[in-house]
Structure 1
Amino acid sequence: MIVTTTVAELSVALNEARRSGHSIGFVPTMGALHNGHLSLVRDSKVRSLFTVVSIFVNPKQFNNSEDLKNYPRTIDSDLKLLSEAGCELVFLPNEDEIYPVGFNSYIELELGNLNRVMEAQFRPGHFEGVVSVVYRLFELIQPDFAFFGEKDYQQLLVVKALARKFFPQITIVPIPTVRQSNGLALSSRNKRLTKEAAQEAAEIFVALSKVRDHMLASGRQWSQSAVYSIFEKHLKSRTHQLTIEYFLIADQRDLSPATPDTPPDELRAFTAVYIDNIRLIDNMKIF
């Protein structure tokens, strides 16, 4: 496995891969890797001959300085996991390599509703930072495929919009959320949870499942207020540590609030929840 830290080293390695006729798969990460990230790598290994993983904690997508400061950094174990997974190249840049002096990090991209709801609403500037770093990484790596997890579903839609406008040659591949046996969605932030908090956080999945079961049984006879009540009631009945930041049934095509007239196949539940001052997000397809 090749480990590069500069754009120059990255370019040399990629040019050699292309000369060998290899298709390139790309998995962008912020490190603190878990089996969810490795599922992206495994899919890349199936679809492409040369897999690149970037590890860069992007300061521009954090609207909370404490969140940035506390974000887990586990480079040594990350590299070990990637080597064992068969990754061909790791790009491990510092901030100056991603955002050199004179680089204009603002990318004009009309996101419409995607930049007004949920993550965009509660993390101002977050998606501007995501667009900046993904644009830069796509520009540098020029992959054939790029892999993103559905846990960060809103981010996935943002990246698809970015690719459509600027990188139509890149195929964006969504990968289903990977969960622990108790249903908790894998997240780098889970590393900060105590054992007790991790057990309680699993109730997010249970509550989402109860909402899905209610909607499946109700057909088109459901309302946002009723399903919010089901979600909230379950969490409050199981723990007092979880605080709901948002919960919404949305049309998964553009994340507009869903109604009973929304096509059932497009319904998806989204939530962000705090536990011990750690923010966790999750989502679940209804039908």
Structure 2
Amino acid sequence: MNLSMPVIQTKTKLTEELNKLGNNQDLGLVPTMGALHKGHASLIQKAVEENKNVVVSIFVNPTQFNNKEDLDKYPKTLVSDVQLISAISDDIIVFAPDVAEIYPDTIIPKIYDFEGLDKVMEGEFRDDHFNGVGTIVEELLKTVKPTRAYFGEKDFQQLRIIQKLTEIQHIPVEIIGCEIVREDHGLAMSSRNERLSEKIRLKAAFIYDTLKTAKIKFGMENALNVKDWVINEFEKTDEFQLEYFDITDIETLTPIQNKINNIKYRAFIAVYVEDVRLIDNIALN
């Protein structure tokens, strides 16, 4: 495997490299599952700009997949991932462990109490998903001990849960959410987009277009009417199957009943197209 920069595969070696940095008071971490794209690149670039040293982890975490077929299909592109990282900076530490390094005994997630943040939306449709996310993120945060860790807002529910994780596990790190990076036509960037046909990938702009119109309607109409409108829009198409659309406050992720002044809301959506599951969200106010 011809890699353009060194890749660390064990926690012991990673700790040795981090110790060489001396006082790691300015260390950024970007956790990824590989198959990197421009969205990941924006996270890495931000980490480079805001920290003296940066670690990018690449690990396809089995405990956050409730569908084994999804895990099997997840692309593993380490060579091109490392090329993308090195194009940003050749000083980045790349940590790409195998499963046995992270789960030496059994591949079982820890169980957390995320105070209900994990019970709605993604949590409703993906059993134990966020326990799996929490398990790997806690492991990475405690191993790397970064000053700051960077996560994309496309997975906004995950971002909130990771913020809660650091609170309940008393991990001293600043969790930084970064804006969604989109393709030219509006589709939120995701490694899953590569599994779409070219025709459908362009048509999938429909998802973001629907969110943008929902945002406009949210400023003028009852939230439940907005939800009904979105459901109706998806019922008009045979190509896109709506799994959920929810409007919640951004702190507790509680689905909205009535708008309350000074509360910030966000709309969340999950859609199936060509057997690929896509998620997106948008700030409403």
Q: Give your verdict on TM over 0.5.
A: yes
Q: Distance in 2 between matches of 1:202 and 1:240?
A: 15
Match of 2:98? 94
Cα distance, 1:115 vs. partner? 1.9
Report how far residue 138 of structure 1 moved. Answer: 0.9
- Give the residue type in structure 2 aligned to 1:228: K
Q: Deviations over 1:184-221 (max 9, x none)?
A: 000111111110121121100000011111112x1xx4
Q: Superposed, which structure 2 residues align to 1:18-167 within 5 Å?
A: 18-19=22-23, 23-86=26-89, 88-101=92-105, 105-107=109-111, 109-167=112-170
Residue type at the aligned position of 2:174: T
- Shift in alpha-carbon separation, 1:136–1:228, aligned structure 2, 3 A: same
CA offsets per residue over residues 32-71 of structure 1, 9 Å max, x none? 0011111110110111011100000000000001111111
Secondary structure of 1:41's match?
Answer: helix
**Cα pair 2:63 2:109 within 8 Å, conserved:** no
Correspondence for 1:6: 10
> Match of 1:271?
269
Q: Which amino acid aligns with 2:35?
A: A
CA contact (8 A) 1:180 1:186 kept: yes
Match of 2:222 in 1: 222
Q: Aligned AA for 1:259? A: Q
The letter for the 2-side match of 1:173 is: I
Residues in 1 aligned to 2:96 and 2:171: alpha-carbon distance in whole angstroms: 26
Query: Offset at 1:22?
Result: 6.1
User: Following TM superposition, by how much is the alpha carbon of 1:79 offset from its aligned partner in structure 2, in angstroms?
Assistant: 0.6
What's the offset of the Cα at 1:121?
0.5
Q: Distance between the aligned counterparts of 1:165 and 1:223, measured in 2?
A: 32
Aligned partners of 2:274 and 2:260: how far apart in 1?
A: 35
Q: Is the 8 A contact 2:223 2:259 kept in 1?
A: no
Label 1:246 to 1:130 Cα distance change in 2 as closer, same or farther (>3 A). same
**Other-structure match for 2:233:** 234
Within 2, Cα distance between the matches of 1:156 and 1:247?
18
- Paired amino acid for 2:8: T
User: Is the alpha carbon distance of 1:265 and 1:178 closer, same or farther for their aligned partners in structure 2, counting shifts above 3 Å?
Assistant: farther
Q: Which amino acid aligns with 1:38?
A: A
Q: Which residue of the partner structure matches residue 197 of structure 1?
A: 200
Change (3 A) 1:39 1:49: same
TM-score for the superposition, normalised by structure 2 = 0.93
Q: Which has the higher helix share?
A: 1
Shift of 1:162: 0.8
Query: Is 1:176 the equivalent of 2:179?
Result: yes
* Structure 2 residue matching 1:18: 3-state secondary structure: coil
State percent identity of aligned pairs: 39
Partners in 2 of 1:194 and 1:104 — Cα distance?
35
State the SS of the aligned residue for 1:127: helix
- Structure 2, unmatched stretches of 5+, are none
Tell me the matched-pair count: 280
Question: In structure 1, how many angstroms separate the alpha carbons of the residues matched to 2:106 and 2:246?
Answer: 40
- Structure 2 residue identity aligned to 1:147: Y
